[in-house]
Amino acid sequence: MSEHVVLSVGQDFHLRRGKDHIIYAEMPSDSVYSIVQRKRQFVPYAAWGYAWNMFYPRIQQNITIDGVDISVENVTPEEIRFRLE
């Protein structure tokens, strides 16, 4: 079973329960797109987290983030369309 997802620049998506969130971070060039992987931890009375940008060549269609396989169907400067495997 696969899930289709469309993210505009800056939109957040939770990969799965117990997994990280990702954010589409645009295309810094015509041939590269960026996804932010965000980890977040909750402790009593506080929340903290950290994130980092990952850069992929536009032609790369299969990526894995936090152990989740992602099949990128289309990427533009405005949005990314992908399917979770």
Spell out the domain ranges in the chain. 3-84
pLDDT at position 10 over 80 = yes
Distances (CA, A) of 52 to 1, 35, 44, 48, 74: 29, 8, 24, 14, 22
pLDDT at position 40 over 90 = no
* pLDDT confidence bin for 30, thresholds 50/70/90: very high
Q: Which pTM was predicted?
A: 0.86
Average pLDDT, the chain: 91
Closest to 64 (Cα-Cα) out of 14, 17, 15: 15
* pLDDT confidence bin for 41, thresholds 50/70/90: low
More confident residue, 2 or 51: 51
